[in-house]
Amino acid sequence: MDQSADRAWNECLDIIRDNVSRQSFTTWFEPLEAQSLEDEDDLHKLTIQLPSRFYYEWIEEHYFSLLRKTVTRVLGPQGRLFYDVVIEQNDPDDPEQGASMQLPARPSGPESDPSHEAADEPETPSDSTGAPAPPSNASSSSPLPPEDEARLSDAQPPGPEGEEEQSTPPVQNPFAIPGLKDTEVDNQLNDSYTFDRFIKGDCNRLARSAARSIATDPGETSFNPFLVYGGVGLGKTHLIQAIGNHVAAHSPSRTVFYVSSERFTTEFVQSIQENQIGEFSTFYRQVDVLIVDDVQFFGGKEKTQEEFFHIFNALRQAGKQIVLSADRPPREIDGIEERLLSRFQWGLSADLKPPGLDTRITILERKAEDEGIELADEVIEFIAQSIESNIRELEGALIRLLAYATLHQRDIDLDLTKEVLRDLVQEQEATLTIEDIQRIVCEHLDVSDEQIRGKTRKREVVRARQIAMYFAKRHTEHSLKDIGLHFGGRDHSTVIHANDTVADRMDSDDQFRNTVDEIGRKIDRHGQ
């Protein structure tokens, strides 16, 4: 290695290290090596070797100003930076495998004024497609006109002898077998996840309505990105894939792609190892509707987050639709960079709540219809009342019942249902808590948990609060003071007053008594 080149580049690295983040320095500058330092045509040419074309494009786009100022400081006004770029080849039999090509840094111009460029990690890509700006292969000191840049945007740089290489092949599916050309993109969607099969209820009304709007006009609504969050088994994956299936069916010209966050991370790491990061990034930047499931698993994966950050910016800038899911609200996701969290909240975040009793019954009826089985109402109601946690366990219980009845050639009735699901129901049953009572009362009287614990004095909320206190006193071992604390910090006298009010009104108001009795039966079934 040229010792003078090595010294000059080390001086440059010392300056660069002070102007970029540690992660950026480690990722983009540590792997680079000085090749030569030559005097030619009154210029001091420092040549450094880059491992791939992608490195060249990335550094030229994001760190051009920093590098130009650094080289000028170290080598003087006549200092120029050149790159020796390793040529990427997919064909191992190609005799040019491992060769390199020398490319100059792009020429300076008015648009490259360092006062207008950030040294590190720009917030948005430089062009509408989000892809790295194509390097210039001209040695002119003036920038190319826009029309020439447009013509060169998809062209390969000249080879070692100056002849032009073949144009870049069409974007491939990064999950396809490496080396295959013109691979058709598999959207990775489950065809059964459609809007028609997604049961509508109060628990998902907002999320479903927004999803339908997005599916009709992807990228054209203000819901971009669209993030759905909620607990396990509540239908997040179904809903976000329903968007993709609708777009694929009604707009076949659009590219739709579904991927889990874990798979995205795995393929990203693999693309780095196989020196295919450029292809990976380009593929995602050309997707029209990108659907990413369980983004909470990006937490703690800094390099994956950085790549997804730039892909996110490119897609949104180009008017493409981004759909995400998570198991919790964005602000509660640990290990996600602030800049990415802010983008998750850019559009609309909608939650999916556990389904109410009516919704659970409808889900079971639909599932039984799909299986070609007619079930008695009492059977469906028993399952719906016994399993409240999530849709997945609800459907699993029904499948278990159907399988048992088929194998043992028995008719499905309430007794068989209780027998088959005895252990499953017992697992669902827990010690009755004040929170359980609050939820049952709120669900029956159509008020929210926040209202019942809040300070509002609306008549319907006060009635629900008093009824919940009434049952909390009768079905739990908590003291009056503890009960009051569970209702927004109220004192014991409020709990006593609530119990007396409910008892008195039950004696004088038959309709009110019937309502309380019905709620009581639901609480009893829960606590059995």
CA torsion, points 328, 333, 334, 338, in degrees to nearest 10?
-170
> What pLDDT does residue 360 have?
83
> What pLDDT does residue 178 have?
43
Provide the domain limits for residue 395: 357-428
Q: Is residue 162 included in any domain, yes or no? A: no
Q: Is residue 199 included in any domain, yes or no? A: no
Q: What is the CATH number of the domain that holds 335?
A: 3.40.50.300
Q: What is the CATH number of the domain that holds 114?
A: 3.30.300.180
Which two tokens mark 295? 């983004």
Same domain, 399 and 508: no
Same domain, 258 and 374: no
Q: Is residue 185 included in any domain, yes or no? A: no
Distance CA 166, CA 163 (A): 10
Phi then psi for residue 200, to 5 deg, are -80, 140
Q: Is residue 19 included in any domain, yes or no? A: yes
Same domain, 411 and 287: no
Q: What is the CATH number of the domain that holds 461?
A: 1.10.1750.10
Q: Is residue 282 included in any domain, yes or no? A: yes
Same domain, 294 and 307: yes
pLDDT along the chain (528 residues), means of 10: 80 87 79 86 84 76 84 88 67 45 51 37 36 35 34 35 40 42 69 87 85 90 88 86 93 90 89 84 89 90 89 89 90 84 85 82 84 82 78 82 84 84 60 84 89 87 93 86 86 90 90 90 72
Q: Is residue 184 included in any domain, yes or no? A: no
Same domain, 139 and 7: yes
Angle at 405 between CA 404 and CA 408, to 5 degrees: 80
Are 224 and 321 contacting, i.e. CB atoms less than 8 angstroms apart? yes
Which among 402, 428, 454 is the end of a domain? 428
> What pLDDT does residue 148 have?
35
Bridge partner list, 348: 226
Same domain, 8 and 146: yes
In 3D space, the residue among 267, 325, 257 whose CA is nearest the CA of residue 296 turns out to be: 325
> What pLDDT does residue 142 have?
31
Distance CA 360, CA 389 (A): 10
The tally of domains found in the chain comes to 4
Are 81 and 46 contacting, i.e. CB atoms less than 8 angstroms apart? yes
Distance CA 473, CA 180 (A): 69
DSSP 3-state assignment of 48?
A: strand
> What pLDDT does residue 145 have?
35
Same domain, 512 and 374: no
Q: Look-up: residue for tokens 């945007």?
A: 153
Same domain, 373 and 419: yes
Q: Look-up: residue for tokens 């010209």?
A: 253
Phi then psi for residue 36, to 5 deg, are -160, 160
Which among 152, 176, 193 is the end of a domain? 152
Task: Kindly report the pTM of this predicted structure.
Answer: 0.48
> What pLDDT does residue 238 have?
92
Bridge partner list, 85: 50, 101
Q: Is residue 490 included in any domain, yes or no? A: yes
> What pLDDT does residue 161 have?
37
Same domain, 346 and 375: no
Same domain, 328 and 411: no
Q: Is residue 54 included in any domain, yes or no? A: yes
Q: What is the CATH number of the domain that holds 415?
A: 1.10.8.60
Which among 303, 335, 352 is the end of a domain? 352
Same domain, 462 and 402: no
Same domain, 17 and 143: yes
Distance CA 187, CA 287 (A): 10
Distance CA 354, CA 397 (A): 16
